[in-house]
Amino acid sequence: MKIVVTVKLVPDTNAEKRIDPGTKRLVRVPNETVLNPFDEYAIEAALQVRDARADGSTVTVVAMTPESGKEIVRKALAMGADDAVMLCDEAFAGSDVWGTAIALAAAIKKNGFDLVIAGSQSTDAGTGALPGALAEYLGVPGLTYLRKLAVEGTTIRGERETDTGFQTVRVEAPCLVSVTKSINEPRYPSLKGIMGAKKKTIAQWSASDLALSVGSGGAKTELTAQASPPVRGKGKLVEAADAVAGAQAIIDFLKEKKLL
């Protein structure tokens, strides 16, 4: 089975983020960039499916990212993925969900796939909309928000989180699934994994390799304005003498704000 994991590179939330006022794009300083935390769960899920099958199944990581993301993509290889494809092209810069989904779909089709595993959301400007759009462009069913995944032959079974509980869902490969952080505990790359990753292939494909023209010119949405939200300052601090006084301070405050 050919398993493909889509991974996004995102700014480390512990690092300060900045928007470039000229290009209006998020500034990504290389060493402040990490694998989208959700995608580590996706990689782990893929490795577990591959290893359980032990039939020569492979895991390929696909990321649309500038070339500077190479060392971070290598982390996915160090975890155990077999190879990686990076979609690097100035033409991809500024892609919206539409542009990203089209480019990823083209790359995944070129690579070949039976099962695509995505994270369910990304922690930067992500919308959680990519997996659905990608499934549509791949022309396969999309099973989202899985907290359990089992593959038997070509049958994919999953337990899907819902807003009120869960569903057990079944589908035949080829298909796309997205996973939540309840699905597993991602492994840390072992020393052997890190050494081995240096020898693994990271292919770089451009828009012309995929016969595509997407990116800022081809995006379906256009950033027209950007504003900073009002700064949230320090509010009132009350040292409660006892529980009644503490509760009363809150009641008074809620009344003042017309919330009670």
Partner 1 sequence: MQHAIAFVEQKNGTARRVAFEAVHAAKLVAEQLGGEVHAVVFGSGAAAVAELVKAHPATKIHVLDDAACNGFLIDPIVDVVAGLAKELGGAIVVAGNTMIGRDVASRVAARLDAGINADVVAFEVANGTVACVSPKLGGLTITTCAFKNADFGVALIRPNVFAAKTDAAGNGEIVALAAPTRAYAMTIEADVDEAAAELGVEEASVVVSGGRGLGGPEAFTTILKDLADSLGGAVGASRAAVDAGWISHGHQVGQTGKTVSPQLYIAAGISGAIQHKVGMRTSAVIVAINKDGNVPIAEFADLMVVGDAFAIVPELTRGVHAAKG
189 binds, among partner 1, ligand AMP, none (CB under 5 to 8 A by kind): none
Contacting residue, 94, 131, 158, 189, with ligand AMP by CB under 6 A = 131
64 binds, among partner 1, ligand AMP, none (CB under 5 to 8 A by kind): ligand AMP
Contacting residue, 6, 57, 144, 184, with ligand AMP by CB under 6 A = 6
From residue 141, how far is each of 40, 106, 156, 170, 175 by CA, in Å?
A: 22, 17, 11, 10, 5
Rounded distance between C-alpha atoms, residue 128 and residue 178, angstroms: 10
Question: Could you say whether residue 128 binds ligand AMP (CB under 6 A)?
Answer: yes
Closest CA to 252 of 175, 244, 192: 244
Report the interhelical angle of 97-111 vs 130-138 (nearest 10°): 50
The residue among 32 and 249 lying less far from ligand AMP, judged by its C-beta, is: 32
Question: Could you say whether residue 195 binds partner 1 (CB under 8 A)?
Answer: no
Contacting residue, 20, 51, 90, 172, with partner 1 by CB under 8 A = 172
39 binds, among partner 1, ligand AMP, none (CB under 5 to 8 A by kind): ligand AMP
Dihedral (CA of 181, 144, 35, 115) sign: positive
Residues in 42-101 that interact with ligand AMP by CB under 6 A: 42, 62-64, 100
Q: Which phi and psi (to 5°) does residue 80 adopt? A: 140, 0
Contacting residue, 22, 152, 162, 199, with partner 1 by CB under 8 A = 162
Q: Per CB under 8 A, which region of 1-9, 85-93, 206-214, 247-255 contacts partner 1?
A: 247-255
Contacting residue, 129, 150, 194, 203, with partner 1 by CB under 8 A = 129
From residue 134, how far is each of 104, 146, 166, 170, 209 by CA, in Å?
A: 7, 16, 23, 19, 19
Question: Could you say whether residue 237 binds partner 1 (CB under 8 A)?
Answer: yes
Question: Could you say whether residue 135 binds ligand AMP (CB under 6 A)?
Answer: no
**Distance, CA of 259 to chain centre:** 37
Host H or E run for residue 243: helix 243-256
148 DSSP 8-state letter = E
Question: Could you say whether residue 3 binds ligand AMP (CB under 6 A)?
Answer: no
- Report the interface residues with ligand AMP, using CB under 6 A: 6-8, 36, 38-39, 42, 62-64, 100, 104, 118-119, 121-122, 126-131
